[in-house]
Amino acid sequence: MGRLEGKIALITGAGSGIGRETAILFATHGARVSCVDKNEGANAETVAGIKAAGGDVVAIAADVSVAADAAEMVEATVTRFGGLHIAFNNAGVMLADDGGAVETDESVWDATMDINAKGVFLGCKYEIPAIRDAGGGSIINTASFVAIMGAATPQIAYTASKGAVLAMTRELAIIHARQNIRVNALCPGPLRTELLMKFLDTDEKKRRRLVHLPMGRFGEAAEMAQAALFLASDESSYVTGSDFLVDGGLTAAYVTPE
């Protein structure tokens, strides 16, 4: 029996990277899955793979930064499957022109905040009532190690947006703890995903990240999916409000307690 048997899950950014790996893994463990992505072609590939393996899945096109889309993705999930138990607010962007405060354009800041921070807020806004109606469940918000310690390669908008995700996660965890709704932030370290590799577009930038990693390698999206599975499952029933770091030892090496 799968670890998510009988559960209904919604995953944003399901067309690639962490979202795709998590959607596949959740379905493997018995969840019925709503795959949400703005890129309909990439999302269709994820859904096709799950269907081919016998999973119960639906594709939903949505821009998570638009309130009407966020509301619709939840409504469509509940209509299709009859409820919602797990929400993984994972969709995010990392823009090439994101640097320090001086050189980063306001438009880059706004676009990053719209998806990475506002998108999580809107997801939670509409997911929480549905999860409450289902008797409780788990919300996982994708943050990042950079929200805790900053990035070696400057990306001020991305870092600030992920800091906002951490703050929202902690507050929502407190507000909804007595409603049987757990809210945690998954904080990946540097990953070998298309998103990060496009940002670290030179060997020098890649070396600058790798030199800080005790394990000496980038993480894999599939490893983050395993962490999300733990946070989604009843095995993490006493875990809420956490900054769940999956970073190859990076923060342990550089962040020391006061």
Positions marked active-site: 158
Residue (of 26, 1, 6, 5) closest to 225 by Cα position: 26
Question: Judging by DSSP bridges, how do beta strands 86-89 and 137-142 pair with one another?
Answer: parallel
Amino acid at 42: A
Instruction: Please say whether the beta carbons of 36 and 12 come within 8 A.
Output: yes
Residues present in the chain in total:
258
Instruction: Please say whether the beta carbons of 183 and 173 come within 8 A.
Output: yes
Beta bridge partners of residue 10, listed in sequence order? 34, 87
| Residue 127, helix vs strand vs coil | helix
Instruction: Please say whether the beta carbons of 77 and 130 come within 8 A.
Output: yes
How far from 51 is each of 21, 54, 56, 87, 111, CA to CA, in Å?
A: 14, 5, 7, 20, 33
Amino acid at 5: E
Measured between alpha carbons, how far is 186 from 243 in angstroms, rounded to an integer? 6
Find where tokens 């409000």 sit: 241
Beta bridge partners of residue 140, listed in sequence order? 88, 184
Beta bridge partners of residue 185, listed in sequence order? 141, 243
